[in-house]
Structure 1
Amino acid sequence: MQPYSTSFREKVVQAYQVGNTSVRKVAARFDVSKAFVQKMLKQQEVAGHLTPGKPGGGMKGKLAGREVQLAEMVEQHPDATLVEYCEYWGETHQQWVSASTMCRALQKAELTRKKRLYAARKPRLNESKSYAASTGSK
């Protein structure tokens, strides 16, 4: 969403300063929130201008920029679990992270792989078939 223009912000502040009105009435008149009007009044008072600020950015993860080290770790220990990766990372890099942090970092670096279960699975019988086999009926 784009920030409101400077001219619109000036109109909102001017409407409050000129008339004997409340913040709520100004907000209703311009179809904005009460908090926006209060924020503009405070910005005008403190900063002396109403230009919109720079939009905020997202937070970077603890392991951002460490893709090469993560790839080396996964290459050295391809069958390790997330918890084992966390322990290894903490011991080698002195930076302890949670399993979810490690999982997100591995996903961003596209280093995920599905682990195979090597144990043979026993086929499950349908209850009606097993009952029929045990009673001798069809």
Structure 2
Amino acid sequence: MQAYSIDFRQKILDTYHAEPISQKPIAKRFSVALSFVQKLLKQYRETKNITPRTDRCGVKGKLNAEQLLIEYPID
């Protein structure tokens, strides 16, 4: 699944700060999951950053680059 754009995230954040509305109606208005709104607001509160997080994507490999070259040498 593709991450939401920064513009879209900013619209959600602006709506939350501009209107006296709770998180659930914001999620409905923008057709996103409530958990996304909650995570976005938490991320903004903690880091002042709304860019998509990439540090948690995918499973980390158990082998490092050197071990991969030994196991699968490049011809």
Task: Trace 1:52-131 onto structure 2 (pairs within 5 A).
Answer: 52-54=52-54, 56-61=57-62, 65=68, 67=71
Q: Number of aligned pairs?
A: 67
**TM-score (normalizing by structure 1):** 0.43
Partner of 1:17: 17
Query: Could you say which structure has the greater relative contact order, defined with CA pairs below 8 angstroms and 6 or more residues apart?
Result: 2
Structure 2 residues without counterparts, runs of 5 or longer:
none
Distance 2:71 2:7 in 1: 45
Percent of residue pairs identical: 36
* Larger radius of gyration between Structure 1 and Structure 2: 1
**TM-score (normalizing by structure 2):** 0.75
Partner of 1:45: 45
Partner of 1:26: 26
The letter of the residue matching 2:17 is Q
Superposed CA RMSD: 2.1
